[in-house]
Amino acid sequence: MSRRVAYVNARIVDPASGLDAPGGLLTEDARIADLGPRLFADGVPDAETVIDCGGLVLAPGLIDMRVKIGEPGEDHKETIASVSEAAAAGGVTALACLPDTDPAIDGEPALEFVARRAREIRSTKIFACAAITRGCAGAELAELGLLAEAGAVAFTDGRRAVADSLVMRRALGYASAFDLLLIQHPEDPALVRGGAATAGAMATRLGLPPIPREAEVILVERDLRLVAATGARYHVAHVSTAETIEVLRQAKRRGLPVTCDTAPPYFALTEADIGAYRTFAKLSPPLRGQADREAVVAGLVDGTIDAIASDHQPQDQESKRVPFAIAEPGGIGVETLLPMALELVHNGHLDMARLLALVTCRPADLLRLPLGRLAPGAPADLVLFDPDIGWIVDAEALSSKSKNSPFDGRMVQGRARRTVVDGRTVFADDIAA
């Protein structure tokens, strides 16, 4: 017998179709059966469960296209189980994990390991990006075609840039032949080596070794030349500077198959937030100045930036409770992706549907996943959230195994109340129960 769940009294927002209206939604087992403003106008149909949404937003579950998981190799930082719990608490119903684990996801056994562990946990859907190069070492290409057949949704060396121009040219040529998506970490390793903060007044005042802003755009400009020569699909992760965004804007106007994402720190924080050597705000790329932050917001508003990812990078205490210059970069973010993204709505930059597109249907389209939409027959992956409730981020209270949040102590608005994956509730708090 099928299991039917009726969601009533909701604000239904489906960014793929443009729907934003009061209404209801009905799920049957793992699929959406029906939805719309008039769905329950004549009364709620027979259903095992009726959930009164209390006027809160009911939307497709968030899709996070950039998440680092410590398992395998660094289980003390994050496991598939702990990141699934954190994602569910944040309204994320699907995520793509990075391949720079130990060992790297550069072969079919590693892909199968991630898929098997996700099946065992039965929570957030976890898809794997595979390595562009063996061991994410930047030298020898991995078996991209075989990895794609085995289920890899994209290819990247994680937070390591493919710096060798010949290797990148070969990777793009191979990707073009198989219609694969390559994701680049945009930092020239030679220019960032030994650096700790963006070059400028803040780095100088704190006595920190500088990272030139040009390290980002230089690598992107090189890659765009190679994209023009190969026609491959190319994606730039976590763009953070005005120059990079403008270069990508012009590349799109020329018709190149390029896309990009950014992460909440780059539109919500600046280099001032590293404060008195605050290592939780040491990221890769590093936090930038106010002009760059404003350029990231403008890129989101005009559509140059295609998606927002959490850029979740767990680090343990031993990696962060050290002098700033030698601390590991990265911050957790999968559980705070929703409230941080909602700042763009509360600040008047985007409406709700456009904002949600950046974290649902657009990343789904980039990864070619049949997710991120509310439609009859679509997977019943849902988030019910209160967009206005205020709370203070407490890193120690977050579900991630590591606690290195750059937003620790920040007042935010918006929180997931219920997260549903394939019709199963994987997270609910007392208000939405």
Answer yes or no: are the C-beta atoms of 211 and 197 closer than 8 Å: yes
In one-letter notation, the amino acid at residue 141 is: L
Instruction: Supply φ then ψ for residue 55, to 5 degrees.
Output: 80, 5
Q: Rg (Cα) of the chain, in Å, rounded?
A: 21
Answer yes or no: are the C-beta atoms of 156 and 172 closer than 8 Å: no
CA–CA separation, 61 and 54 (whole Å) = 18
User: How do beta strands 62-67 and 197-198 pair?
Assistant: unpaired
Residue the block writes with tokens 């898929």: 115
**Among residues 14, 223, 261, 311, which one is catalytic?**
311
Question: How many of the other CB atoms lie within 10 Å of CB of 202?
Answer: 20
**Three-state secondary structure along 35-63?**
EECCCCCCCCCCCCEEEECCCCEEEECEE
Question: In 179-316, where does DSSP find H-type helix?
Answer: 189-192, 201-206, 214-230, 242-253, 264-268, 290-302
Answer yes or no: are the C-beta atoms of 208 and 324 closer than 8 Å: yes
**Which DSSP string corresponds to 17-37?**
TTEEEEEEEEEETTEEEEEET
Answer yes or no: are the C-beta atoms of 187 and 194 closer than 8 Å: no
In 3D space, the residue among 113, 129, 105, 102 whose CA is nearest the CA of residue 80 turns out to be 113
Answer yes or no: are the C-beta atoms of 12 and 374 closer than 8 Å: yes
What is the helix (H) or strand (E) element at residue 93, kind and residue range? strand 92-97
CA–CA separation, 431 and 424 (whole Å) = 18
Angle at alpha carbon of residue 383, lines to 338 and 295, rounded to 5°: 25
Beta-carbon contacts of 201 under 8 Å, excluding residues fewer than 6 positions away, are none
CA–CA separation, 373 and 380 (whole Å) = 9
Respond yes or no: is residue 311 known to be catalytic.
Answer: yes
Answer yes or no: are the C-beta atoms of 297 and 290 closer than 8 Å: no
Q: What residues act catalytically?
A: 311
